[in-house]
Amino acid sequence: APAPLAATSRKGLAWFWGGLVVSALFSGWSYVWLSQQPVMQGIAFNAVPTIFTQGAVFFIATWAAINGVAGLIIMTVSYFAFGKKNSVDLRAAGVLPGWRKFFHGIGLGAVVVAAGFGIVFVLDYFFKTDFRFWVVAVKAFGADKLWIGLLYVPFFLVYFLANSVAINGFNRFTLRGKEWLNTLVLALANAIAPIVLVIAQYATFFITGETIPGFGGIFSIWLFPVILILAVSAVISRKIYRATNNPYIGGFINAAVVTIISVSNTLTVVY
């Protein structure tokens, strides 16, 4: 990938920070709003028979897709209002790589995911071990989880592809001369809304003994793995982009891995 540019324009920095603030506010608001919708509650708690037999995953995946679409809108507005007028080259940034390179990238991502989980299965078979960190578990799973995952991966693809494009195609530059500082800011921006919601929920419960009115406790519990996943996925997509100049490889890998982790660790309801 080309070397990141230094952020020297005040207007450019205003678009950068403004976009992050708008994205974070929408992320937090949309999560709470979605948790209050009766239709979504029926599916999320598996009270209504649907093809989505893992309600919790459906809720998170839907929220992710909504924010992916919002991210696409923000990027479009940013490009036509600022980027296009300031010589932002979407082809050079890898945002428009051409169909051949795009599908090559998706194929490479699929190989990486298959190889990664292949290692997990080998270690599980020979050593009966897997990989667990805090609230995230990468482990062997039954073949049925792949079919279940196909229901949710389109939702996660919308988010993680858009997120990778935003991080690498639109927001990659140095802050104080350091690219890692830019990566750190974007990783924190990815996770800041869930972090604030969790802190607000537990602070409210600690002080009042009750959860935030209109925001059920289980929804904040579901955010614990989300915080870790969103922060780490930003770093992963940046590392892959630096080596390939293709934001879609990291986006696909993150979407596929998150889908598999989610469906292999969540209750499946059989109606």
Q: What is the pLDDT of residues 35-55, one digit of tens each?
A: 999 999 999 999 989 999 999
222, two tokens? 């579901």
Token code pair at residue 201: 């929920």
Cα separation, 59 vs 222, in Å, equals 10
Positions in the chain whose pLDDT score sits under 70: 1-8
Show the tokens assigned to 183.
Answer: 């990566």
DSSP state of 51: S
pLDDT at 7: 60
Q: Cα(82)–Cα(36) distance, rounded to whole angstroms?
A: 36
pLDDT recorded at residue 127 = 92
Q: How many CB atoms lie within 10 A of CB 79?
A: 18
pLDDT of residue 85: 86
pLDDT of residue 2: 62
Structure tokens at 108: 């490479």
pLDDT for residue 86: 83
Which residues sit opposite 132 in a β-bridge? 137
